[in-house]
Amino acid sequence: MSAFTLAYRMVPTDAEMAAITSIVRERGATIRWQTSLTFGRAYALVERASAECRDALRERAGSAWVDRAIIALAVSPSVDEALPALLHALGGPGRPLGIRLCEPVEGGIILEWDLERTSAEMILDLIDIEIARFTARRVNELLTPLPLAWSARIAADGLRAPEIAPDRILEHLLEDLDAAG
């Protein structure tokens, strides 16, 4: 997959986001931003980037640079007592392979992981197992824009509908038609 993520631990200024967007578009790549004021984070998905674009962004974005696409999810259980169990299961020594960050935030955790290494279904099932011990519910907030192939895979897995594929997603097909003129 020719996509990667910029993961900001705070919401960058409009000027910084405009500068990053300019670097991407001037080099023929695409970028989609998603910010969460609630969690003070911002993520950008960059797709179809040349090596020159990647290098320019790596230099500009610094520690926000992630060399692959990731999923970031804020999980807020209804019972605060479930938080230590979530942190241990998802951030401790036995955590799933794809987890790159499991960080506590007020009232929840933020997870970042690589879908190529660990499925969304596995992560969500693990969360549900841990919070069930506390008879808790959860509220999730997706913090990252996702590559189309990942959105299709998550939908196909969740709906048990393997026929769902990027070339069958209506919104994507309409975007292509709109771009063609």
Same fold, 3-66 and 71-146: yes
Label residues 121-140 b or e (16+ Cβ within 10 Å = b). Answer: eebbebbeebbeebebebee
- What is the fold, at CATH topology level, of the domain defined by 71-146? Alpha-Beta Plaits (3.30.70)
Q: What is the mean pLDDT of each run of 10 residues along the chain (181 residues)?
A: 87 96 94 95 95 93 93 96 96 94 95 93 95 96 86 74 73 60 58
Q: Give the start-end residues of each E strand in the chain.
A: 3-8, 30-36, 41-47, 65-66, 71-77, 99-105, 108-113, 138-142
Q: Which two tokens stand for residue 44?
A: 């950008």
DSSP letter at 29 equals -
Instruction: Provide the residue ranges of all domains of the chain, joining segments of one domain with +.
Output: 3-66, 71-146, 147-181
- Rounded to 10°, the helix 51-61/14-26 angle is 160
Predicted local distance difference test score (pLDDT) of residue 172: 62
CA distance 30 to 100: 24
CA distance 107 to 130: 16
Architecture of domain 3-66: 2-Layer Sandwich (3.30)
Predicted local distance difference test score (pLDDT) of residue 180: 59
Predicted local distance difference test score (pLDDT) of residue 1: 41
CA distance 52 to 109: 35
Predicted local distance difference test score (pLDDT) of residue 122: 94
